[in-house]
Amino acid sequence: MTSTETAGPGQPATRGAPCRQCLLAAQCPLSCQLGLAQLATRSGEVRLRSFARGSMALREGERPPRCLFVKSGLLLIRQTGLDGVGRAIAVIGAGYLLGFTTAHNGQGSLMSAQALTPVSACELPDGVPDRACLAPYTRRAVETLGAWGQLMRIPSLPQRLAAALHLIASVQPSLSTLLPSQSVLAELLCVTRESVNRSWREFEARGIVGRRHGRAVGLDLAALADIARHAPAVS
């Protein structure tokens, strides 16, 4: 497996990254198709690609030749509306598959994916995944888009923010969660950055969220889930 750094101009760096050492090997479309025992037989056809924060892993309308399997990091999903404006609609992370509409149907990508953090992804060999192994990835994509769509029907901003933080944490295998900027959260929730900041400070005062270092935060997921489920009392 080789690695390509996507971070603007310059020559890509290459390094080895055997599939058998990958923590997500059991979730990989290649292991679904071949079985874990046979994973090494085609690992040389896999390219490990790295995307810097802010770079595009996938552009709406483009036809990538191969699927990308996300290994780590967060990506912002955007889609262009009838008014021609691209809007943020979801956040995804490790274990998601990009580019499968093109790989199997020859259609342009329905959405774009932009790295919110440094992202590592595997560019899979031609024909991977096959249709039999594609189902769990399409199901997860539909579930995620459905969850973000339902979130936007929640009337209270604190509830929506709590639900959004819970969803973002759910795609990260870590106790210390990385979050998008408050500007991105505001775009996702269709509110102003000031509104997000106000709700964030309320959560912070209650000990539900807390900065650790950089973009890493500590989240009380049980408390966030409770806020998301219950509408605030009307005074």
Alpha-helical regions (H) of the chain: 29-34, 100-105, 131-151, 157-170, 182-189, 193-205, 221-229
* Cα separation, 5 vs 48, whole angstroms: 9
Domain end call among 99, 133, 167: 133
Query: Is 139 a member of any domain?
Result: no
What average pLDDT score do residues 16-36 get?
83
The parent domain of residue 21 ranges over 2-133
Query: Are 123 and 7 in a shared domain?
Result: yes
Query: Are 74 and 180 in a shared domain?
Result: no
The pTM score is 0.88
What average pLDDT score do residues 188-192 get?
98
Query: Are 27 and 80 in a shared domain?
Result: yes
Whole-number mean pLDDT of the chain?
Answer: 88
Judge whether residue 8 has pLDDT over 50: no
Q: How many domains does the chain have?
A: 2
Binned at pLDDT 50, 70 and 90, residue 216 comes out as confident
Interval 145-166: pLDDT, tens = 999 999 999 999 999 999 999 9
Query: Are 127 and 165 in a shared domain?
Result: no
Cis previous bond, 125, omega within 30: no
Query: Is 203 a member of any domain?
Result: yes
Q: At 101, which CATH number?
A: 2.60.120.10
Query: Are 129 and 161 in a shared domain?
Result: no
